[in-house]
Amino acid sequence: MKSLIKIQMRYGVMAAGIALLLVLLNITFFLGYMLRYGERGITHSYYKMGEITDSLAKKGNGYYMPEESMATVEKEFVWAMLLDEAGNIVWSWELPEELRKKYSIQDVAVFSKWYLKDYPVKTYVHPDGIAVYGEAKGSTWKTRLELPERVIAYFPQGVLGLFLANIILALGLAVLLGYRLFRSLRPLAEGIERMEEKEPTNLEETGPLEELAARINRTSRELARQHAVLEKKDTARTTWIAGVSHDIRTPLSLVLGYASQLEESPHLTEEEHRQAGVIRAQSLKIRQLVNDLNLASKLEYEMQPLSVENIRMAELLRKIAADFMNQSKDRELEILVEIPEEAQNLKVQGDRKLLERAVGNVIQNSIRHNGKNGVCRVEVQLKDMEQQCQIVITDNGPGFPEEILRRQGDQQMEVGNSHGLGLKIVQQIARAHGGEMVLANRDQGGRVTIEISR
Amino acid sequence: MESIYECKILIVDDERGILEMTEKILRQEGYYKIYKAGCCREAREAFWQVKPDGVILDVMLPDGDGFQVMRDFRMESQVPVLFLSARDEDENRLLGLGLGADDYITKPFLPRELLLRLGAVLKRVYFPVMEREGRLPVFPVGERSVDLNKGTVDFGDVSLTLTAKEYALLKKLYENRGNIVTIDSLCQAAWGEDSYGFENTLMVHMRRLREKVEENPSAPAHLLTVRGLGYKLV
C-alpha cells in the first residue's frame, strides 16, 4: 500500500510539473512572438514617423520631404499626405484618386482611430497640420483599447495571480486524477498483498483494470493450487515417516524385549550376556533414531502441535541436569547449571517436552562426543535478554567440525552426520519457539546457544 | 489377594509376537494369571469372562482403537489400564481424551520398564493401605538413624525431633536416595506448588537439617550440596 501512495505522490508532482512547464512555455512563446512580429508596428514605426513628419518642411508654396525620409516612407507605406488646419491636402505622395478631397474634422476623428477607405492609416501631428500615412489595405488590424485605470494598475498582480491559479488548478487536477487512479489500483494492490500472504484473492473484474484484476485472480488461484499440492506432499511425507516408524517399533519391541531377557538370563555365559547387552543397547539407539526421525519430520513441516505452557526455565534446566547426572552415575559427567539471580524466575511460553528435548539433545551430544576426554564437563547458563531468553551450553569436548559451523544457517542441515539429527531437532525446536540455535567453538570445546523468544 | 502377582492381567495386542513376549516377561516376574486378546472384540469378551485386575492395552487394533475399548471398560469398572502404543501422537490424544488411564508406555519398551510401571499401578490400586498401615522406614544416615514414623533423628541416647519442613525435605531426599534432588523439587515438597522464592529459606532449613543428621555439619558427609542444582542424600 505504501508503494501505491508513493506512486500517487510522484504522479501528482509530475502532473504539476508538466502544467508548470506548459505555462512557462506558453509565456515564452507569446513573448517571443510579440518581439519578433510586433516590433515594427508598435515601437519602431511610431518613432520613425516622428522623424519623417518633422523632416517634412515648407519650401516655397509647397512642402518637401528629404530623400532619406522618403525612402522610409516608400518602404513602410503605400501613400502619404499632409492636411492643413482647414482640412486641405497641402502635400501628398502616391495618394489614390478616391482620397483626393477636403477632409472635415469628423473625417479626421474617424480615420485617425480606424481606417480611411479601408486603408489602415497612421497620423502624426505636424506644426502646420496633420500628416497621414496609409498602409496597404488589409495589412494592419486596428482596434481601440480602453481599460479602466484599475486594471492597468493591478496588471502585474493580476498576471501573477493568474499564474498561481493556473498552478493550483493544475496541481488540484493532478491530485484528483491521481487519487482516482489510486482508488482504482488499490484493490489490485490489496489483491497482490493477499497473494503474498497466501490468501485467496477474488477481485471484482470490472472497470478499466478489468483484465489486470482477472489475471491477478488467475495467478492467485494457481498459487493456491500449488500451495495445496505442496502441503499435500509434506503431509504425505510426514504421514509416511510416521507410518514407517510405527512399523519399525513393533519388531524392535521384540528385539529389545528378548535381548533384555537374555541379558538377565541365568543360563548364559558372561560373553553371551555381553552380546545380548550390545543388542539391547543398539536397539535403544535405533529407537532413539526412529523417534528423532519422526519428530524431525513433524517439526520440519510444522505438524507437531505445540502444547504451550508457562515454563520457569531455571527449574526446567535444573531438572534436566539432575536427570542426566542421576542417570549417568558410572560415567564421569559434571553438569554445572549457572543461573543469575535475575533469571531465576524467568518464564517462557513454550512446549515443556520439546524444550527439555532440545536441551537434552545438546547435553547428550556433548556426552557422546566427549568419550575419550575423561570427565565431561557441561555448563548450562540461562541469560535473560530483552526479547528472548538464551540457554548457553558449553562443554570441554572436541567442539564442532568446521563443516557444521559453516552450514548451520542452512534450512536443511545434513542428516546422517553424527551431529546431524540431534542438533537439527534442537534447531527446529528453537525455531518453533520463535528463536534460533547458534553453534560455535571455544578454545576448549563447543558452545550451543538456544534462543527462545519470550 | 496377597500380592500384585496374583492379579489377573489381560494383555491386548494385535501383534502375536508382542503378546507372547509380554506374557513371558510377566510370567518370569511371577505373574501367573495371564489372559490374551488380539482385537477389540476379543478384549471385550475376555473382559466379561475374566474380570481382569489389570489391563495392558495396545492403542491400534485391527477393529478399532484401544481408547474406545477402555471407555467401555470404564463404564463397568475402575480396572487399571496401562496403554502400550507405537505412535507418538497417541500420547497427546490420550492426554487430550482425559480417559484416566493409569500409565502409558511407548513401543519399543524395555521389559524392566513395563514391569516397574505395571507393578506401580497395581500396587497403587490394590495395596495402597499396606503402605499407610505399615511402618514408615527407619534408615541410617552415617552413625545416626532417622525414624520417619516418629520424625526423629536418634544417636546414642539423644533423640532430635525434626520440624515439619525438615521432615518433608528429608523424606523427599530419602525417597531419591543417591540421586540429586533439585532445589525446585525440594521447595515443592516443603512448600507446595509454585514455591518460587523459597530458595534462601531452603538453605536455612538444610543447614538446620545438617545439624541434626551430620556428625560434622560444616563438612557434610551424607547430605551433600550439588552446586547450582540441589541436594543429594548418600
pLDDT tens digits for B60-108? 889 988 888 888 888 888 889 999 888 877 776 776 667 778 888 888 9
Residue B59 sits in the same domain as residue B14: yes
Residue B172 sits in the same domain as residue B193: yes
Residue B213 sits in the same domain as residue B127: no
CB A79 within 8 A of CB A94: yes
- SS3 state at B189: helix
- Which letter does DSSP use for residue B11 in this model? E
- SS3 state at A78: coil
Q: Touching check for B27 and chain A: CB below 8 Å?
A: no
Size of interface A-B (CB pairs under 8 A): 97
End of a domain among B131, B152, B169? Answer: B131
* Record: contact B230-A256, CB cut-off 8 A: no
Cell representation of residue B68:
474406545
In whole angstroms, give the CA distance from residue A201 to residue A188: 9
User: Other C-beta atoms within 10 Å of B148: how many?
Assistant: 16
Residue B143 sits in the same domain as residue B160: yes
Domain count, chain B: 2
- SS3 state at A146: coil
- SS3 state at A116: strand
Residues from chain B contacting residue A342 (CB–CB below 8 Å): none
| Nearest-Cα residue of chain A relative to residue B87 | A246
| Nearest-Cα residue of chain B relative to residue A254 | B18
- CATH number for the domain spanning B181: value is 1.10.10.10
Whether A238 has a pLDDT exceeding 60, the answer reads yes
Report the DSSP beta bridge partners of residue A93: A80
Residues from chain B contacting residue A250 (CB–CB below 8 Å): 15, 17-18, 86, 107-108
Instruction: Name, in order, each residue with C-beta under 8 angstroms of B118's C-beta and a sequence gap of 6 or more.
Output: B9, B26, B54, B56, B82, B103
Residue at B1: amino acid letter: M
Whether A417 has a pLDDT exceeding 60, the answer reads no
Task: Tell me what the pLDDT averaged over chain A comes to.
Answer: 82
* Residue among B175, B77, B80 at smallest CA distance from B131: B175
Range of the domain at B163: 138-233
Q: Touching check for B89 and chain A: CB below 8 Å?
A: yes
End of a domain among B131, B154, B170? Answer: B131
Residue B98 sits in the same domain as residue B148: no
Residue B51 sits in the same domain as residue B123: yes
CB A447 within 8 A of CB A393: yes
Residue B125 sits in the same domain as residue B145: no
3-state percent helix, strand, coil for chain B, nearest multiple of 5: 45, 25, 30
* Residue among A303, A322, A306 at smallest CA distance from A434: A306
Note the CATH number of domain A210-297: 1.10.287
* Record: contact A260-B111, CB cut-off 8 A: yes
Residue B115 sits in the same domain as residue B12: yes
Residue B156 sits in the same domain as residue B221: yes
Q: Touching check for B62 and chain A: CB below 8 Å?
A: no
Q: Touching check for B234 and chain A: CB below 8 Å?
A: no
| Nearest-Cα residue of chain B relative to residue A342 | B197
Instruction: Name, in order, each residue with C-beta under 8 angstroms of B187's C-beta and a sequence gap of 6 or more.
Output: B195, B196, B198, B199, B202
Q: What would you measure as the largest C-alpha separation in chain A, in angstroms? A: 170
* Residue among A373, A374, A361 at smallest CA distance from A423: A361
pTM: 0.62
Q: Tens of pLDDT along A362-398?
A: 988 888 887 666 778 888 888 888 888 899 999 888 8
Residue B61 sits in the same domain as residue B28: yes
Helices (H) and strands (E) in chain A, counts: 13, 14
Q: Tens of pLDDT along B122-175?
A: 988 888 755 555 677 888 888 888 888 888 888 888 888 999 999 999 999 998
Least confident of A136-140, A252-256, A333-337, A339-343: A136-140
Highest-scoring range by mean pLDDT, A82-96, A126-140, A198-212, B210-224: B210-224
Residue B14 sits in the same domain as residue B117: yes
Whether A73 has a pLDDT exceeding 90, the answer reads no
Q: What residues does each domain of chain A span?
A: 2-155, 210-297, 307-453
Q: Touching check for B228 and chain A: CB below 8 Å?
A: yes
| Nearest-Cα residue of chain A relative to residue B194 | A312
- H or E element at residue B2: none
Mean local confidence (pLDDT), A1-19: 75
Give the 3-state DSSP-derived string for B197-233, with helices as H, strands as E and coil as C: CCHHHHHHHHHHHHHHHCCCCCCCCCEEEECCCEEEE
Out of A256, A261, A319, whose CB is closest to B184?
A: A319
* Record: contact A335-B199, CB cut-off 8 A: no
End of a domain among B131, B148, B182? Answer: B131
Residue at A419: amino acid letter: H
Beta strands in A94-236 (DSSP E): 115-116, 119-126, 129-134
Which fold would CATH assign to domain A307-453? Answer: Heat Shock Protein 90 (3.30.565)
Cell representation of residue A295:
519428530
A416 confidence band (pLDDT: 50, 70, 90) = very low
Kind of pairing, strands B54-58 and B81-85? parallel
Residue B109 sits in the same domain as residue B186: no
* Record: contact A294-B88, CB cut-off 8 A: yes
Residues from chain B contacting residue A291 (CB–CB below 8 Å): 88
- CATH number for the domain spanning B20: value is 3.40.50.2300
